Amino acid sequence: MGRRVRIEIEGKDAFWRHAFDVEWEHQFPGREMAADSAGHFLVEAEWLKDLERVAAETFCRVTLAPENRQRREWLNSIIARRGR
What one-character DSSP code corresponds to residue 26? H
Domain that holds residue 13: 4-82
Which pLDDT value is given to residue 1?
63
CB 9 within 8 A of CB 22: no
User: Count of domains in the chain?
Assistant: 1
Q: What is the pLDDT along the chain (84 residues), one digit of tens a residue?
A: 689 999 999 999 999 999 999 999 999 999 999 998 788 999 999 999 999 999 999 999 999 987 766 666 666 677 666 655
CATH code of the domain containing 57? 3.30.70
What is the value of pTM for the model shown? 0.76
